Amino acid sequence: MPVITTWNLENFFRPGGAYGPRTQDIYEKKLTYLTDRINALAPDVVAIQEVGDPDALTDLAGRLPEIWHTALSTRPDRRGIRVGFLSRTPLITVGEVTALPAPLLPVQVGDAPTDTDGSMGRGALHVRTTVGGLELDLVTAHLKSKLLTYPGGRFKARNGDERARYGAYALYRRTMEAATLRIYANGILAGGVRNLVVLGDMNDTQLAATRQILYGPDGSQLGTPGFDRPDAGDATRLWNVAPRIPDGHRFSRLHGGDRELIDHILLSHKLVQKLVSADAYTQDITTIGNDPSSRRDATVPDHAPVTVSIG
């Protein structure tokens, strides 16, 4: 029974630098927490986000029992964070997802006429592994945050107009990235892959328009009357496991005290038929605000790990 987790590790850097913890002791405490939680969840594969330092991932893999295999995107964002995988079984890196596919055009990301971008801010990563005889294709991504950043690195808008503009720019980018990811998934499914998992920090809830893009053809999602009715869209559809997460755990972040499920696992048709359970380990996360620098020394990530078991 494959067990798959997605987890944003939040600013996972070694000590020092602009974003990592200030002391080795804080870093050690975070490593201990991550190790203990992974051991308790006992996944076969973990999709990870916000890995800032490849050596930190090496440290984490070395703390885990037995041998764990790793893969990391070579396309971090400007802060240096990227996505990757930890796996008990060997990983084959199939591809990286970065460029906006034609005929989609670059989107506006700032006030200047030249502030456009046609690539994902953080590249997505596609790997393949075999767990319990089941070959799996997994694609992890970390889409544009809802946290707004203004010129000069500010987290506070000068006025309402600027806040509205940069809110739109962030949404443009996140939508473009969701479309890029969905089109890449289309190619995987068209190539004959049937065991596909798309997962990661998508920075929107399961009902947001950007999530609807990822699902593919309308209808048949878990929890709807059409789920048990086969149709022509099943071969290209992806199913969000969110409805299978118990109500009290159906969130992966607390922002200003509000519960948000923004970390998602989507399964292809063959896999969703084998879905046994889904859950989020929310017990340790605490609410956050809009200043990420205030959490530099946090030893518990601000995101809950989301896990599925597949029979």
pLDDT for res 147:
87
Dist. CA 300–CA 71, nearest whole Å: 23
| Three-state DSSP class for residue 48 | strand
What's the whole-number mean pLDDT along residues 291-305? 92
Strands (E), the chain: 3-12, 45-51, 69-72, 82-87, 92-99, 107-108, 116-117, 119-131, 134-142, 196-201, 239-240, 253-255, 258-260, 263-267, 275-280, 306-310
Residue 146 CA to its chain's centroid (Å): 14
What's the whole-number mean pLDDT along residues 272-297? 93
**For residues 210-241, b (16+ Cβ closer than 10 Å) or e, as one string?**
bbbbbbbeeebbbeeeeeeeeeeebebbbbbb
How is domain 3-310 classified at the CATH fold level? Deoxyribonuclease I; Chain A (3.60.10)
- The answer, yes or no, to whether residue 292 has pLDDT greater than 80, is no
pLDDT for res 166:
97
pLDDT for res 71:
98
Q: Kindly indicate the confidence band of residue 160, based on its pLDDT and cuts at 50, 70 and 90.
A: very high
Dist. CA 281–CA 288, nearest whole Å: 17
What's the whole-number mean pLDDT along residues 41-53? 97
In angstroms, the first-to-last Cα distance of the chain is: 5
pLDDT for res 68:
98
Q: Kindly indicate the confidence band of residue 22, based on its pLDDT and cuts at 50, 70 and 90.
A: very high
- pLDDT for 140-150, tens place per residue? 999 999 889 99
* pTM (two decimals): 0.97
Q: Length of the chain, please? A: 311
Dist. CA 252–CA 261, nearest whole Å: 5
Write down the H helix ranges in 12-113.
Answer: 24-41, 54-63
